[in-house]
Amino acid sequence: MALHDWTIADLEAWDRRVREVVQSFRLTPYPVDFRIYDYEQMLDMHAYHMPFRYSHWSFGKTYDVQRTLKHFELTSLAYEMVVNTNPAQAFCWRDNSLPLHVLVMAHVYGHSDFFANNVWFRTLTNAAGALELFRAHADEIAAYSEDPSIPFDRIEALMDAAHALMFHRPRILGRRRETPQRQRARLVESRRAEPGEWDHLKPRDERVPPPLELDRVPLEPDEDLLRFLAEYAPLQDWERRVLEIVAKESDYFMPNVATKVMNEGWATFWHDRIFHALPERPAEFDVEYADKMSGVVVPGGLRMNPYHIGWHIWTDIYRRWEDPDPQERHDWGRRGGEGLEKLFEVRDTEDDASFIANYLTDELIARLKLFRYQWAREADGQSVYRVLDVPDPEGYEKIRRAAVMQVGNNLFPMLRVIDANYYHDRTLILEHVHDGRDLKIFEPELPLRDVRAILREKGELSGEVLVSETGEVLKHIQSIWKNPLVLQTRYDGTLLALRCDREKRITVEIG
Amino acid sequence: MSIRDYSRESAGQRAGRDRKRHRDKCREAIRQGLARLVAEQDIIGADRKGKKASFRIRAFPEFRFTFGRKTDAVGSGSSQKRGDTFRTGKGDPRKGGRAQAGSDPGDDVYEVEVTLEDVDAFLFDDLELPDFLVKQLRQIPVPDRGGMTGITRHGALSRLHRRGTVRTRLRRTQAEEFAGGAADDGFIDDDLRFRRLSERVRMASNAVLICMMDVSGSMDDSKKFLARVFFWILYRFVQSKYEHAELVFITHHATAREVNEEEFFHTMESGGTIVSSAYELALETIAHRYSPDEWNIYAFHISDGDNWQDDNRHVIETARKLLECCNLFGYGQVNPTDSFYFPVAPSMQWSTVFDVLRPLEGEFPNIGFVKIETKEDVYPQFRELMTREKVKGVRHGAS
């Protein structure tokens, strides 16, 4: 096809035109280095996410799984990938047609603009130094691998354990980790504060705070599991470094996780506008564009497609501020013509959770036909999904809340260290902060009464019913902590604890 | 800022190392659970159940804290009513079609369902029957029931032509009424009409694949697994090239017997190994049931190379006879790297079946050898077997 016969000079010409349009829309992306990659190179970038990354088998796994799925055409290869660096690096698949390349360039500028302006990326990642950071980490891990005094198995086991915890980053993005000294000083200071004007109205136990245990570890519940372990577990220096490296890289990627819907929606919204503003584009470009665009913003079916949801929300925000209807003008005092300013304001300040909470309106929920559903087991044992809420006055808020719970940090259960019994037997107490969603604890996922019955009968879980992968994660943590640990959670509304002892045996305590 | 084409540069080497490490981890896990894997997957039998094959992509699990299934999810794009239910399908859609949890603790298994035709297309598209096989591909006349060519008054009830029958009856009763005769008395034999089917003779090609396998003590599960994968590919290949393909399974240790598929892959017997016993039984089977005039015969034997040394001479004799009547006679030696039994070392003064059969290569173009060490070897080896001969054939033609 003629559309596939392009040269670098063609791309450069189109890049110039795209950049002109980008500027005319007042977007301010980082400059972009485009790299044309072949199929295997694209797979490689997808597995590693960065041009430099330390070695771990999980990246090889992603590579092979994606490659096999692609082989049977079960997934399609992404057309591009951008990394948050300054200058931005964008990787484009060689086999894209010329119009698709143009679409991809516009899309890439959208992402890069988001990276350069969104508060989480601006404050939490150092785009200019990112490549060096990842390269330094890769070199450091490689050096440990080559160190004859460090067995490879131990590096790998530690990596596996660190990877198991890598998404459990502090909930509040960007909060600086306090040193124990600072933390202690802050807590002491807080007790010195003068009684507030209305304190006499508070219940008595709030008026008199519990005594401070200043030698407690941790002083306050700690959500940063990787760094807590690096600081307090009995480890060698290189082991601490491995945990810190995984934590640091994970921190770098957290803004991506926290803004997936916004970011993809933003890039899609802009590539659409940029593409249609391009002068002198041949008619066959539009056909190819329409084909690809319809594939990108397709409704997600049982999942939320971030491109679909994000694109619709951004389009809706623009419409509501650029061209408000009479009702909106009256109710909210909107003057119209403020679309771009509003878009930039939202781009700069929100993340997915707030973006969905604030801008996924009832009308939009109805228009996108969003629904809330849950897995359930029918009376006949059949596994089904049951629709719980549909777009109607009763359902809007619940659907919106469910959507918020499926983005950013909410994708991962929140765990924190509440006590390490540091001056006793060092049993680590982990608390799962229950937000209404049970952890996956048993395999298969039985109701608690069935588990109870088995425990009563046999005294332990074995054979058919086992502790799920949660138990495996506990073993990973135990291998770092070296002492016993306990995970406290709720299951089916009842308190439940999983204990992992020094021999890595998992026991279940209910109620 | 800049646009550069990196695609002609060599791909990063980093993935190679991590992919290998991941595969090694999987292989180790598979070796430990091998018996179960072989028992679970009916590779050859897959097409009898609705022509679907599950392709499993084995991936080593990464453990994380996750939420249970009873958590809210949001879908989009279709009109639902509150309380509607829909089937969950095979996997949890939120996990990209991953197999249902619980089926296989400790293994991350992606089940990919593809039709066998897809698999064949993927495997065999660019693979033709080798020249030496095409030459011998025999066309066999078979009676063919073609389409309906008309209506007849006689035939089996199963071919009753209902509309024709009703029409005849209407015509008859109306004629009778018109003539002032009796009222309608239902169907009579004369009303019945039947479909007439054409009876053509069509040239079809039949093939039989004779699978022979050593089941003596030294063939452990990992070796049998490799044998099974090889036989599956060979069977699918034969099936895709011929309209009618049959399978014969022969196992042997000191004596040979014909078994069914189930037994073929699951029996483990002890005892010595006399390879010629299998070849003799194959010859007997061919003589009785699969005349070379009517059948394209593929015979393949897989063992770990072990044979009773005094039998070697007889092996050559019987192999020669097989080669004379078969399109392809192949021998495969499996020496899996993860087997508990060491392969026969070349340094030992001990000749494997491979060494015994090898001299026949110069004499017969239709003999083939494969050596398989891992599952990944199977398909490349199979390709080599099919393409090598083709190249040779071309060269002969040119000279």
Which of A385-394, B18-27, B38-47, B326-335 reaches the highest mean pLDDT? Answer: A385-394
Q: What is the C-alpha separation between B310 and B25, in angstroms, rounded?
A: 42
d(Cα B314, Cα B298) in Å, to the nearest integer?
20
The beta-carbon neighbor of A68 closest among B21, B57, B62 is B57
With CA atoms as reference, the chain B residue closest to A390 would be B82
pLDDT tens for residues A352-367? 999 999 999 999 999 9
Q: Does A168 touch chain B (CB under 8 A)?
A: yes
| Residue % of chain A over a pLDDT of 70 | 96
Contacting residues of A for B8, CB less than 8 Å apart:
38
DSSP 8-state assignment for residue A439: B
Q: Is the pLDDT higher at B225 or at A224?
A: A224
Q: Which of A55, A64, A373 sits opposite B14 (nearest CB)?
A: A55
CA distance A220 to chain B (A): 22
Contact A263, A111 (CB under 8 A): yes
For residues A357 and A402, the answer to whether their CB atoms sit within 8 Å is no
Of A61, A65, A440, the CB nearest to B66: A440
Of A229-238, A294-303, B300-309, B333-342, where does the model show the most confidence? A229-238
Between residues B66 and A193, the one the model is more confident about: B66
- Reduced to 3 states, what is the DSSP secondary structure of residue B220? coil
Burial of A458 per CB tally in 10 Å (0-12, 13-18, 19+): exposed
A309 touches chain B (CB under 8 A): yes
* Mean pLDDT of the region B113-134: 52
Q: List the 194-213 stretch of A: residues with Cβ below 8 A of B.
A: none
Tokens of A295: 């594939």
Contact flag A36-B4 (C-beta cutoff 8 Å): yes
Q: Would you list the DSSP string of B148-201? A: EEEEES---GGGB-HHHHHHHHHHHHHHHHHTT--------GGG--EEEEEEEE
Most confident of A19-28, B128-137, B322-331: A19-28
What is the phi-psi region of residue B99: left when phi exceeds 0, alpha when psi lies from -120 to 50, beta otherwise?
beta
Give me chain B's average pLDDT, please. Answer: 71
Whether residue B101 lies within 8 A of chain A, CB to CB, comes out as: yes
* pLDDT the model gives residue A109: 96
Residue A460 at interface with chain B, using a CB cutoff of 8 Å:
no
Reported as a single tens digit per residue, the pLDDT across A436-481 is 999 999 888 888 888 888 888 887 776 666 788 899 999 999 999 9
CA angle B186, B192, B194 (to 5 degrees): 155
Q: Chain B closest CA to A421's CA: distance in Å?
A: 23
Mean pLDDT to the nearest integer, A220-240:
95
Q: Is B86 close to A384, i.e. CB distance below 8 A?
A: yes
Nearest-Cα distance to chain B for A288, in Å, is 22
Q: Smallest CA–CA separation between B4 and chain A, in Å?
A: 5
Q: Which long-range contacts (CB under 8 A, 24 or more apart) does B360-366 make?
A: B360/B316, B360/B319, B360/B320, B360/B323, B363/B320, B363/B323, B364/B320, B364/B323, B364/B329, B365/B132, B365/B389, B365/B392, B365/B393, B366/B132, B366/B133, B366/B136, B366/B323, B366/B326, B366/B327, B366/B328, B366/B329
Min CA distance, A111 vs chain B (Å)? Answer: 15
- The pLDDT value recorded for residue A359 is 97
Q: Which chain A residues touch B102 with a CB distance below 8 Å? A: 443-444
The pLDDT value recorded for residue B48 is 40
pLDDT in tens, B83-93: 888 776 543 33
Strands A442-443 and B367-372: unpaired
Of B1, B72, B112, the CB nearest to A402: B72
Higher pLDDT, residue B270 or B300: B300
Q: In sequence order, what E strands does A16-108 have?
A: 32-37, 80-83, 88-93
Architecture of domain B131-139+205-398: 3-Layer(aba) Sandwich (3.40)
Residue B145: what pLDDT? Answer: 59
- Determine whether the interchain pair A308/B76 forms a contact, defined as Cβ–Cβ distance below 8 Å: yes
Question: Can you give the three-state secondary structure of A277-344, one letter per residue?
Answer: HCCCCCHHHHHHHHHHHHHHCCCCECCCCHHHHHHHHHHHHHHHHHCCCHHHHHHHCCCCCCHHHHHH
Helix (H) / strand (E) containing A490: strand A485-491
pLDDT of residue B376: 67
How far does B218 lie from chain A, in Å, by closest CA?
Answer: 31
Asked if A301's CB is within 8 angstroms of B93's CB, the reply is: yes
Inter-chain CB proximity A31 and B1 less than 8 Å: yes
Size of interface A-B (CB pairs under 8 A): 261
In percent, the amount of chain A with pLDDT more than 90 equals 68
In one letter, which amino acid is A449? Answer: R
CB-closest option in B1, B65, B83 to A32 = B1
| Nearest one of B323, B320, B328 to B296, comparing CA atoms | B328
State in Å, rounded, how far the first CA of chain B is from the last one.
59
**Assigned token pair, A362:** 């009832």
pTM for the full predicted model: 0.68
A56 touches chain B (CB under 8 A): yes
Q: CB atoms < 10 A from the CB of A98, how many?
A: 21
Please tell me chain B's helix, strand, coil percentages from 3-state DSSP, rounded to the nearest 5. 40, 25, 35
Spatial distance between the Cα atoms of B5 and A94, rounded to a whole number of angstroms: 8
Q: What is the pLDDT of residue B342?
A: 44
Chain B CA closest to residue A46: B15
Average pLDDT over residues A193-213: 75
The pLDDT value given to residue B121 = 54
Q: Are A468 and B101 in contact (CB < 8 Å)? A: yes
Which chain B residues touch A430 with a CB distance below 8 Å? none
User: How far does the CA of residue B103 sit from the closest CA of chain A (Å)?
Assistant: 9
The answer to whether residue B95 neighbours chain A at the CB level (below 8 Å) is: no
**Chain A positions in Cβ-Cβ contact with residue B75 (cut-off 8 Å):** 300-304, 370-371, 373
Q: Do B21 and A43 touch (CB under 8 A)?
A: no
Instruction: Count each helix (H run) and each strand (E run) in chain B, helices first.
Output: 11, 13
Q: Is A233 on the interface with B (CB under 8 A)?
A: no
The predicted structure's pLDDT at residue B135 = 41
Reported confidence tier of residue A20, pLDDT bands at 50, 70, 90 = very high
With the C-alpha atoms ordered B300, B305, B310, B313, is the resulting torsion angle positive or negative?
Answer: positive
Q: What is the 3-state secondary structure (H, E, C) of A112-159?
A: HHHHHHCHHHHHHCCHHHHHHHHHHHHHHHHHHHHCCCCCHHHHHHHH
**Chain-chain contact of B82 with A439 (C-beta, under 8 angstroms):** no
What whole-number distance in Å separates Cα of residue A267 and Cα of residue A271? 6
Average pLDDT over residues B356-363: 83
Nearest residue to B230 via CA among B20, B67, B385: B385
Chain A from 373 to 432: CB within 8 A of any B CB: 373-376, 378, 382-390, 395, 399, 401-403, 405-406, 412-413, 415, 432
Q: Tell me the three state secondary structure of residue A45.
A: helix
| B11-25, B279-293, B305-319, B321-335: the lowest-pLDDT one | B11-25
Distances (CA, A) of B200 to A73, B149, B166, B196: 41, 11, 29, 12
- What does the pLDDT average to over B225-240? 76
* pLDDT for res B353: 82
DSSP code per residue over B49-92: TTTEEEEEEEE-------B-SSS-EEEBSS---TT-EEE--SSB
pLDDT class for B1, splitting at 50, 70, 90?
A: low
Extract long-range pairs of A1-6: CB within 8 Å, 24+ residues apart: A1/A97, A3/A97, A3/A98, A3/A99, A3/A284, A3/A288, A4/A95, A4/A97, A4/A98, A5/A98, A6/A97, A6/A98, A6/A101
> Is A373 close to B79, i.e. CB distance below 8 A?
no
For residues A441 and A473, the answer to whether their CB atoms sit within 8 Å is no
Closest approach of chain B CAs to the CA of A302, in angstroms?
Answer: 4
Q: What percent of chain B has pLDDT over 90?
A: 4
- Is the CB of B89 inside 8 Å of chain A's CB atoms? no
Domain residue limits, chain B:
15-64+88-115, 131-139+205-398, 147-201
* pLDDT for the residue A383: 80
Q: What is the mean predicted confidence (pLDDT) over B361-372?
A: 83
How far, in Å, CA of A308 to CA of A295, rounded? 10
pLDDT tens-digit series, residues A324-379: 999 999 999 999 999 999 999 999 999 999 999 999 999 999 999 999 999 888 77
Per CB-CB distance under 8 Å, the chain A contacts of B61 are 469, 472
Interchain CB contact of B359 with A (< 8 Å) = no
Highest mean predicted confidence (pLDDT) among A476-490, B21-35, B154-168, B229-243:
A476-490
For the ranges B48-52, B154-158, B309-313, which has the lowest average pLDDT? B48-52
State the Cα–Cα distance between residues B371 and B302, nearest whole angstrom: 10
| Predicted confidence (pLDDT) at residue B77 exceeds the cutoff of 80 | no
User: How far is Cα A325 from Cα A318, in angstroms, rounded to an integer?
Assistant: 12
From chain B, the residues in CB contact with A56 under 8 A are 18
Strands A383-389 and A442-443: unpaired
Interface check for A469 against chain B (CB to CB < 8 A): the answer is: yes
Pairing of β B256-259 and β B244-252: antiparallel
- ipTM comes to 0.89
Q: Do residue B73 and residue A372 have CB atoms under 8 angstroms apart?
A: yes
Residue contact A55–B80, C-beta within 8 A: no
Separation of alpha carbons B5 and A38, rounded Å:
9
pLDDT in tens, B286-326: 998 888 877 888 888 988 887 888 888 888 899 999 888 88
| Minimum distance, in Å, between the CA of residue B229 and any CA atom of chain A | 18
Residue in A387, A397, A417 to test binding to B, most B beta-carbons within 10 Å: A387
What is the phi-psi region of residue A53: left when phi exceeds 0, alpha when psi lies from -120 to 50, beta otherwise?
Answer: beta
pLDDT band of residue B118 (cuts 50, 70, 90) is low
